[in-house]
């Protein structure tokens, strides 16, 4: 049964808005995208009103999901502050329904002690932990094309090889590459609680906005909408029990990234850089951004560190290798490792079988596992098994 836009509008008309009129008359709805049983739209309100609208967003989503034939609905609440408007108040403690303390956070908590104060500036801030997930970590880069997504996926697999339960969230909403890197073509389905079930591949629980929308649809999403969609991918997904959820962040260190870093309950961030100077400057920005929101930087990875000839294995330091290591030392953050620029990393990635999976005994898998081990060490006390 195919769902029509009119059906969606009819059901939204019955959802009462805080303005005393049905949602369709409140002048807050974006264009509604309906394709293949999947419905997406946003509710756009002023930031000062955002709190009052969060429950409306949930009701709207529920109403749409109840339409026969709807397999998935995602409603984003976008809140934009008008120029000159006062900052909205921080959310009330009760607005964090998922707040819970999980079982394995006893003992030393070197990283957890850096938790940011619970008074972020965004009205959508929900710093509450995600039930069942011990540690959410971000993989970030100052700019695109440095191999952030490739590293995030292989790092997730490296952590898996260490015996951890690992998930991967592709939050790179402007250009989700995880569908390509993993070869996943199927769409997530909903469980009994109407939560999306992540796709299980390579022993990882994987979620990407690219599973839900076409890439060009994702590209036009604006900043606040990105945040809202990512928050839902974190919280409206049945992740199950995970030791680590690796979040592949959108590239760059602009406002969208800052908001994300502020809103996602991150236990740490890994910064990917290439050896070129420019990229290191970008990496420094990334570092400053995470520090600003009190997220500990777990370390810097130098990707495409040196060229390794696929024929003879000879190493050439074509980019003046070692920059990231020195930079990490200078900045007082751990250096997690260097990954060569190698043909098989690229071909494996682009074929949908990441190198840690396709060549588990090869030298690259070893490097990603070593990086994984350093990350796990940093998370000691936060994830179960990390102290083993
Ligand atoms: P980003 O997420 O930073 O935009 P990607 O992970 O999509 O970057 O990588 C960009 C391109 O570089 C992809 O084609 C990928 O296969 C390739 N790539 C990434 N890391 C390496 C590496 N270490 N060696 C060779 N190719 C790589």
Q: What is the mean pLDDT of residues 206-231?
A: 71
| Structure tokens, 208 | 């990407």
195, 237 contact by CB (below 8 A): yes
List ligand 1's pocket residues with C-beta within 6 A. 141, 144-150, 177, 251, 303-304, 339, 341-342, 345-346, 349-350
The whole-angstrom separation of Cα 177 and Cα 211 is 10
378, 111 contact by CB (below 8 A): yes
Best CA proximity match to 226, nearest among 187, 269, 188, 175: 175
User: 238 lies in which domain range?
Assistant: 111-378
Domain termination residue (choose one: 60, 80, 100): 80
Best CA proximity match to 236, nearest among 76, 101, 382: 76
Helix and strand numbers, DSSP H then E, in the chain: 12, 12
Q: Looking at the structure, do residues 68 and 152 belong to the same domain, yes or no?
A: no
Q: Looking at the structure, do residues 360 and 298 belong to the same domain, yes or no?
A: yes
Query: Domain total for the chain?
Result: 2
Domain of 24, CATH number, reads 3.30.300.130
- Residue 54: in which H helix or E strand, if any? helix 50-65
Q: Looking at the structure, do residues 272 and 142 belong to the same domain, yes or no?
A: yes
Q: Looking at the structure, do residues 18 and 119 belong to the same domain, yes or no?
A: no
User: How far is the centre of ligand 1, averaged over its atoms, from the C-alpha of 213 (Å)?
Assistant: 22
Over 70: is that where the pLDDT of 223 sits?
A: no
User: For residue 385, is it within any domain?
Assistant: no
Question: Which of 145, 148, 150 gets mutated to test ligand 1 (max ligand atoms within 8 A of its CB)?
Answer: 150
User: For residue 205, is it within any domain?
Assistant: yes
222 secondary structure, DSSP code: -
Between β-strands 166-170 and 133-141, what pairing exists: parallel, antiparallel or unpaired?
unpaired
User: For residue 370, is it within any domain?
Assistant: yes
Domain of 159, CATH number, reads 3.40.50.300
Q: What is the mean pLDDT of residues 309-327?
A: 75
Q: Which atom of ligand 1 is nearest to the CA of 364?
A: 23
User: For residue 97, is it within any domain?
Assistant: no
The pLDDT value given to residue 214? 64
Range with the poorest average pLDDT among 65-69, 192-196, 243-247: 192-196
User: How far is the centre of ligand 1, averaged over its atoms, from the C-alpha of 266 (Å)?
Assistant: 24
Q: Looking at the structure, do residues 146 and 223 belong to the same domain, yes or no?
A: yes
Q: Looking at the structure, do residues 76 and 117 belong to the same domain, yes or no?
A: no
Position with higher pLDDT, 117 vs 197? 197
Q: Which atom of ligand 1 is nearest to the CA of 153?
A: 6
The whole-angstrom separation of Cα 151 and Cα 178 is 11
177, 219 contact by CB (below 8 A): no
Over 80: is that where the pLDDT of 107 sits?
A: no
Q: What is the mean pLDDT of residues 60-89?
A: 71
Q: What is the pTM of this model?
A: 0.72
The pLDDT value given to residue 364? 93
User: How far is the centre of ligand 1, averaged over its atoms, from the C-alpha of 231 (Å)?
Assistant: 26
Q: Which atom of ligand 1 is nearest to the CA of 150?
A: 6
Q: Whose CA is nearest to atom 26 of ligand 1?
A: 346
Position with higher pLDDT, 318 vs 92? 318
Contacts of 71 (CB under 8 A, 6+ apart): 36, 37, 38, 187, 189, 190
User: How far is the centre of ligand 1, averaged over its atoms, from the C-alpha of 32 (Å)?
Assistant: 34
Can you give the length of the chain in residues?
388
Q: Looking at the structure, do residues 234 and 315 belong to the same domain, yes or no?
A: yes
Query: Where does the chain show beta strands of DSSP type E?
Result: 33-35, 38-46, 72-80, 133-141, 166-170, 199-201, 204-208, 242-248, 266-273, 297-308, 315-316, 335-341
Q: Looking at the structure, do residues 45 and 173 belong to the same domain, yes or no?
A: no
User: How far is the centre of ligand 1, averaged over its atoms, from the C-alpha of 244 (Å)?
Assistant: 22
Over 60: is that where the pLDDT of 328 sits?
A: yes
Torsion of Cα atoms, 224 then 226 then 229 then 230, to 10°:
-110
User: For residue 282, is it within any domain?
Assistant: yes
Q: Looking at the structure, do residues 127 and 69 belong to the same domain, yes or no?
A: no
The pLDDT value given to residue 104? 37
Position with higher pLDDT, 236 vs 222? 236
The whole-angstrom separation of Cα 210 and Cα 232 is 14
Q: Whose CA is nearest to atom 20 of ligand 1?
A: 147
Q: Looking at the structure, do residues 226 and 339 belong to the same domain, yes or no?
A: yes
User: How far is the centre of ligand 1, averaged over its atoms, from the C-alpha of 341 (Å)?
Assistant: 9
The whole-angstrom separation of Cα 296 and Cα 182 is 28
Give tens-digit pLDDT for 330-381: 888 999 999 988 888 999 888 899 999 999 999 999 999 999 999 999 998 7
Contacts of 239 (CB under 8 A, 6+ apart): 130, 132, 133, 167, 198, 205, 245
Q: What is the mean pLDDT of residues 271-294?
A: 81
Give tens-digit pLDDT for 234-253: 888 999 999 999 999 988 88
User: For residue 242, is it within any domain?
Assistant: yes
Q: Looking at the structure, do residues 116 and 74 belong to the same domain, yes or no?
A: no
User: For residue 366, is it within any domain?
Assistant: yes
Give tens-digit pLDDT for 17-64: 888 888 998 888 877 878 788 888 888 777 677 778 888 988 999 999
Best CA proximity match to 177, nearest among 140, 143, 204, 152: 152
3-state secondary structure 289-318: HHHHCCCCEEEEEEEEEEEECCCCCCEECC
User: For residue 91, is it within any domain?
Assistant: no
Mean pLDDT of the chain: 80
The pLDDT value given to residue 348? 87
Q: Looking at the structure, do residues 73 and 138 belong to the same domain, yes or no?
A: no
C-alpha 65 chain-centroid distance: 24
Please report which confidence band the pLDDT of residue 138 belongs to, taking 50, 70 and 90 as the band edges: very high
DSSP assignments along 333-359, one per residue:
--EEEEEEE-HHHHHHHHTT--HHHHS
């Amino acid at each position: 049964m195919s769902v029509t836009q009119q059906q969606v509008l009819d059901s939204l008309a019955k959802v009462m808005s805080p303005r005393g009129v049905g949602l369709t008359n409140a002048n807050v709805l974006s264009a509604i995208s309906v394709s293949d049983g999947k419905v997406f739209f946003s509710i756009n309100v002023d930031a000062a009103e955002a709190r009052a609208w969060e429950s409306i967003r949930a009701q709207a989503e529920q109403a749409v999901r109840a339409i026969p034939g709807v397999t998935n609905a995602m409603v984003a609440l976008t809140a934009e502050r008008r120029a000159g408007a006062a900052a909205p108040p921080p959310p009330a403690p009760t607005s964090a329904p998922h707040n819970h303390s999980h079982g394995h956070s006893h003992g030393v908590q070197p990283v957890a002690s850096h938790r940011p104060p619970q008074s972020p500036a965004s009205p959508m801030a929900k710093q509450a932990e995600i039930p069942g997930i011990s540690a959410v970590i971000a993989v970030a880069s100052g700019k695109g094309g440095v191999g952030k997504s490739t590293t995030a996926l292989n790092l997730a697999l490296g952590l898996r090889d260490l015996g951890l339960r690992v998930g991967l969230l592709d939050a790179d909403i402007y250009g989700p590459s995880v569908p390509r890197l993993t070869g996943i073509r199927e769409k997530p389905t909903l469980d009994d609680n109407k939560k999306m079930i992540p796709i299980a591949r390579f022993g990882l629980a994987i979620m990407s906005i690219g599973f839900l929308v076409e890439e060009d649809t994702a590209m036009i999403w604006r900043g606040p909408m990105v945040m809202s969609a990512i928050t839902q991918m974190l919280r409206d997904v049945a992740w199950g029990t995970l030791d680590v959820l690796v979040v592949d962040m959108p590239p760059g260190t602009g406002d969208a990234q800052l908001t994300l870093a502020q809103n996602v309950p991150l236990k740490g961030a890994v910064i990917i850089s290439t050896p070129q100077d420019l990229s290191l400057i970008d990496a420094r920005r990334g570092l400053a951004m995470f520090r600003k929101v009190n997220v500990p930087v777990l370390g810097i990875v130098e990707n495409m560190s040196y060229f390794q000839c696929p024929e003879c294995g000879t190493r050439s330091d074509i980019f003046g290798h070692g920059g990231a290591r020195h930079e990490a030392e200078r900045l007082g953050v751990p250096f997690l490792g260097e990954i060569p620029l190698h043909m098989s990393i690229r071909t494996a990635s682009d074929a949908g079988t990441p190198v840690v999976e396709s060549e588990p005994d090869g030298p690259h898998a070893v490097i990603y596992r070593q990086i994984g081990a350093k990350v796990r060490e940093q998370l000691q006390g936060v994830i179960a098994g990390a102290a083993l």
